Structure 1
Amino acid sequence: MTRSTRSTRRSRTVALTASAVMIALGATACGGSSGSSGSGAPGKGGTLTILDKADFDHLDPQRVYTTEGQSMDQEIVRTLTGWDETGSAPKLVGDLATDTGTPSKGATVWTFHLRHGVKYQDGTEVTAPDVKYGVERFFSSDINGGPPYAAQWLVGGSGYKGPYKGKDLGSIQTPDKYTIVFHLNQPVADFNETTTMTGWSAVPKSHDTGSTYDTHVWADGPYMIKSYTKNKELVLTRNSHWAQPTDPIRQQNVDGMNVRFGQDESAIDQQIKADAGTAQTSIQQWPIAGSDLAQLANDPSLKSRYYKIPAPGINYLAINTTRVKNLKVRQAIEYAIDKTTVRGAFGGSAYGDYATTMLSPGIGGYNKFNLYSANPAGNLAKAKQLMKQAGSPKPTMSIAVENTPTEEHFADAVKTALERIGITVNITPIDASSYFSTINNTKNQYDLTWGDWIADWPNASTVLPTLFDGRLIKKNPQANQDLSYLNDPKVNALIDKAAKTADVKQRNVTYGQVDQQVLKDAAVVPLMYMNFSEMSGSKVGGVILDPIVAEPSLVHVYVKH
């Protein structure tokens, strides 16, 4: 999933083994952690203010594919399974379901039993048919933008068009009020990790408002929407029908949450740093601005409320292979990009290490390799040589970025680097609140596109197939994640081979081969393996470092009095 300047963060979720998560947190986490913003029992009451530079792409659970959206939805809706992150490593647990599900028939059938007594905001009980209906919404053309797994894996999914015309999907069965069974077209051993994503949540048919559900999400979590003015403010209040004994993941400590949109990144940073007034009870969900990161990361006075979250994901520049068709030109771009100035735009070394692969260290299948410049500043001579071999073209290219200072500084760095090899770059800033829904629509194609990606759950299968299986482009014209528009038969064949390989080690070997082939195609320029840094005010407690969606998790948050 992405992480709106962090998809999930579409790119939102984490491909690390439990041990790798422990190592990553131990090695890089600094400052805040579970309960680190305060000691003793959580306080009750008060309002948490959340300061975001832009609105969420979506809150409709079947459309969410950014980490900010998924983190926010965790307060409003519950999923079949979820992650308990109160220990040293994330632990998969049942959420709506009583446990993590039961596979059968070689992991092609998965059965979940729902908890009794989970209630919506109006007091009615959450049922298996509600979960079935929620998942079926994935398939409607009106509900686009979410992850592709339901359509890929559920039997009959390729031809199903959603529930709005009165038809259901037969591969989702509800033999009784509390049982739901999914029939898959292939073995999926980690299907119960897929179901931690917000799309696998319940939607009551009587309260579904279709494409406008973003602002009308019906809550079964601890908080419900009181009011939502797009691009201005989201106000959450307690769901009085939520019951702690039914929820193994969340708490309901604050009376409400007030999400305010539209401030400049740096203005948010400075407001929280100053820690005056409402800033004391505020937290940010988007990363610290690149211009502020180095200073704030090294400020000892902020240590107790500074959260550095290792994000097993990748910040990258996609090269549209259908528009930039000459391989030599794409290779020249690989050598020309100066990653030192690029990383500087995002905040320098505190943001992350230089990347040379699309799989991050710690993800199964990762192999350390570098097909291009050994110097992160690039190799200008090699880039010029490749442009000469390409016939010395003087192309003009468009680059899409979010309309934030951090992203625009990044775009300037790319523009400067490519102008040195005769490529003119026109920068196209896109509103951050609609960035991913814009670039993921195949009608809006750019030569170069900034992107980032965090695995959707701990498996490399949620990175490379989603980003580079060219066969998915036509299947997801309004929610295409293949920003390179790569459709390489070699890549597709390796993806198929990996999907059919039961042995995890052998499967990871194949994913490593996919990674190398994508770079041989010069379809993307890997930039950085990411860390995300946020801050909270001094009166915010109970924040958990969430390496699954690379966000400061609010499921246990409280306000000190």
Structure 2
Amino acid sequence: MRAAPLEPSSPSRRRTECYLMTRRRRSIALAATAVAIALGATACGGSSSTTGSGSPTKGGTLTVLDHADFDHLDPQRVYTTEGSSMDQELVRTLTGWDETGSQPRLVGDLATDTGTPSKGDTVWTFHLRKGVTWQDGKAVTAQDVKYGVERFFSPDINGGPPYASQWLVGGSSYKGPYSGKELASIQTPDASTIVFHLDQPVTDFNQATAMPGWSAVPKAHDTGSTYDTHVWSDGPYMIKSYTKNKELVLAKNTDWKQSTDPIRQQNVNEIDVKLGQDQSAIDQQIKSDAGTAQTSIMQWPIAGSDLTTIAGDPSLKSRLYNIPAPGINYLAINTTRVKDLKVRQAIEDAIDKTTARGAFGGKAYGGYASTMLSPGIGGYQKFNLYSSNPAGDLAKATALMKQAGNPRLTMSLAVENTTTEEHFADAVKTSLGKIGITVNITPIDAANYFSTIDNVKNQYDLTWGDWIADWPNASTVLPVLFDGRQIAKLPQSNQDLSYLNDPAVNAQIDKIAKMTDIKQADAAYGALDEQIMKDAAVVPLMYMNFSELAGSKVGGVISDPILAEPSLVHAYVKS
């Protein structure tokens, strides 16, 4: 999924002195143990306990300061880390992650447990908890979950993850519930049972159902494409008011019951999200710890211009959340517009990653990347097909441009309209200018950035992007970003920003999906990563770390290594 955009960069997290080890694998048999083994140590920084020095204080207002509005809050459309994190306050998913222990643990959320697979992992059955209600007191039913998942398929509801259409039987031709039709592969034999029929074995399906899209939506309160601002809550908080690009206020959902929720608490009276502020100004405000800043927290990473100073200040250590992300910051090259492989290879060698990383905050932001799978993700293999010097290899890049006929090219580059990304864009422009490529920079409003670049009608040659694994498995990275068949299938929510449609890559994706041996699949994904890099469709830049800061009176914040966000599900305001 898309990471929360950084001001001085975009969505990513940082790294300090402790590291988050990754991740879980693809086997139900391993579901419980793999998370514990693979996730190893949790992220460091901040108070990760739910109580701090005592029981959580009840009452008060938690203020969240965000650089830009959420791309989406509609659970079937949200596909960014900050949007998904905020949705945890509003909606319940079939499964979820309990992150109160030393490692995240998959548990039932709306469901009583993590689901029951049958018929070779092609049928998954979930039973709903009793007593879960909507904000109007009506019971949440299996039919509400079915309707919510069916919304994934509507052309009017776009931007979310592609798994439902890829996996559910009949999903390729289904057009959503607004035409009055249902998807037969989602069955609800009674009000508390839902059964999914898949067209392929998916052993980690119950990890996908921890994403917001696998949540219920009441048909009577569905406002379609405007549901972003009208999300109906079955979580601890509900929308009190929402003025786009300005402020979102969440109030207590008085019909939520703690006894039915194994993941969340309801400690503060309100969550007041202030939107559209300069990230550096947010950094300095929370750093000052004066007035309301004491009860404030940020969701977008610290600005690149502030990161080194803040991360190195020992007085801020207890308020700083340093969360290594299972993800990658990268530059996508549109292979349908930049067709010459030699030119794309020249770009790979010409990019100065030292100046690119500097824009995002330098070493504290993360290590230099040479692969699309990040360390810790199942399938990661260390290799580098291009410049071994992060500053680039101009001699090699120049020679490749000569082999291409020394074309004098002009390319458009899309980035978010943040100071960090504009500095990054300048770094790319300078690097490519040295090999005869003129770069025209197009800053796009951060709140609409991914909606814009994910639309296949965009005309960008180069696109900044980042990606965090939906769960730490290569199956949520390479197939999502490089299966070229998704370009036509998802024209308004295409994640293949390089427009790579390599038949060999597509075939290998299908082959790996059928593998049941974890080690075999991991090895195959590592080889696929290298095969993709040979196409020179993307320039991996950094393996990301995300850093956020909180005020001194914010307690109960959990470092969420799944979303690489500071989780607010147990947050409280200290008295």
Normalised by the size of structure 2, how large is the TM-score?
Answer: 0.95
Residue 117 (str. 1) matches residue 131 (str. 2): yes
Structure 2 equivalent of residue 326 of structure 1: 340
Residue 549 (str. 1) matches residue 563 (str. 2): yes
Deviations 1:499-522 (A, max 9, x none): 011111111111111100111000
Structure 2 equivalent of residue 210 of structure 1: 224
Structure 1 equivalent of residue 31 of structure 2: none
Partners of 1:477 and 1:195 in 2: how far apart? 24
The answer (yes or no) to whether the contact 1:232–1:260 under 8 Å persists in 2 is yes
Q: CA deviation at 1:44?
A: 0.4
The answer (yes or no) to whether the contact 1:4–1:432 under 8 Å persists in 2 is no
The answer (yes or no) to whether the contact 1:2–1:8 under 8 Å persists in 2 is no
The answer (yes or no) to whether the contact 2:327–2:374 under 8 Å persists in 1 is yes
Structure 2 equivalent of residue 428 of structure 1: 442
Structure 1: gaps (5+ residues): none
Provide the identity percentage: 78
Residue 386 (str. 1) matches residue 393 (str. 2): no
Matched AA of 1:5: P
Matched AA of 2:335: T
The answer (yes or no) to whether the contact 2:12–2:325 under 8 Å persists in 1 is no
Which one of the candidate residues 87, 102, 106 is aligned to 1:92? 106
Matches within 5 A, 1:245-394: 245-394=259-408
The answer (yes or no) to whether the contact 1:49–1:260 under 8 Å persists in 2 is yes
Residue 408 (str. 1) matches residue 425 (str. 2): no
Q: CA deviation at 1:19?
A: 4.7
The answer (yes or no) to whether the contact 1:9–1:549 under 8 Å persists in 2 is no
Residue 2 (str. 1) matches residue 21 (str. 2): no
**SS across alignment from 2:183:** coil
Q: CA deviation at 1:458?
A: 2.6
Q: CA deviation at 1:460?
A: 1.1
Partners of 1:494 and 1:33 in 2: how far apart? 43
Which one of the candidate residues 197, 208, 214 is aligned to 1:200? 214
Partners of 1:96 and 1:15 in 2: how far apart? 26
Deviations 1:63-87 (A, max 9, x none): 0000000000000000000000011
Structure 1 equivalent of residue 145 of structure 2: 131
Q: CA deviation at 1:297?
A: 0.2
Deviations 1:49-73 (A, max 9, x none): 0000000000000000000000000
Matched AA of 2:3: R
Partners of 1:8 and 1:120 in 2: how far apart? 34
Residue 16 (str. 1) matches residue 16 (str. 2): no
The answer (yes or no) to whether the contact 1:8–1:456 under 8 Å persists in 2 is no
Deviations 1:217-240 (A, max 9, x none): 000000000000000000000000
Partners of 2:165 and 2:563 in 1: how far apart? 22
Partners of 1:337 and 1:149 in 2: how far apart? 33
Partners of 2:523 and 2:490 in 1: how far apart? 28
Partners of 2:183 and 2:263 in 1: how far apart? 30
Change (3 A) 1:318 1:100: same
Matched AA of 1:427: I
Matched AA of 1:257: I
The answer (yes or no) to whether the contact 2:128–2:142 under 8 Å persists in 1 is yes
The answer (yes or no) to whether the contact 2:49–2:100 under 8 Å persists in 1 is no
Q: CA deviation at 1:22?
A: 4.0
Partners of 2:208 and 2:12 in 1: how far apart? 14
**SS across alignment from 1:158:** coil
Which one of the candidate residues 157, 168, 171 is aligned to 2:171? 157
Structure 1 equivalent of residue 470 of structure 2: 456
Structure 2 equivalent of residue 473 of structure 1: 487
**SS across alignment from 1:159:** coil
Deviations 1:185-216 (A, max 9, x none): 00000000000000000000000000000000
Q: CA deviation at 1:457?
A: 1.3
Deviations 1:489-543 (A, max 9, x none): 1111110111011111111111111100111000000000000000000000000
Partners of 1:155 and 1:37 in 2: how far apart? 45
Structure 1 equivalent of residue 30 of structure 2: none
Residue 74 (str. 1) matches residue 81 (str. 2): no
Q: CA deviation at 1:36?
A: 8.0
Structure 2 equivalent of residue 516 of structure 1: 530
Partners of 1:414 and 1:292 in 2: how far apart? 21
Change (3 A) 1:8 1:467: farther
The answer (yes or no) to whether the contact 2:10–2:421 under 8 Å persists in 1 is no
Q: CA deviation at 1:39?
A: 1.6
Partners of 1:250 and 1:367 in 2: how far apart? 36
Matched AA of 1:472: Q
Structure 2 equivalent of residue 189 of structure 1: 203
Structure 2: gaps (5+ residues): 14-20, 25-34
**SS across alignment from 2:272:** strand
Deviations 1:32-57 (A, max 9, x none): 14238932111100000000000000
Normalised by the size of structure 1, how large is the TM-score?
Answer: 0.97
Partners of 1:8 and 1:250 in 2: how far apart? 27
Matched AA of 2:170: G
Change (3 A) 1:21 1:47: farther
Partners of 1:363 and 1:131 in 2: how far apart? 30
Change (3 A) 1:352 1:494: same
The answer (yes or no) to whether the contact 1:37–1:543 under 8 Å persists in 2 is no
Structure 2 equivalent of residue 140 of structure 1: 154
The answer (yes or no) to whether the contact 2:349–2:387 under 8 Å persists in 1 is yes
Partners of 2:440 and 2:292 in 1: how far apart? 40
Partners of 1:367 and 1:239 in 2: how far apart? 46
Matched AA of 1:43: T
Partners of 1:536 and 1:394 in 2: how far apart? 48
Structure 2 equivalent of residue 505 of structure 1: 519
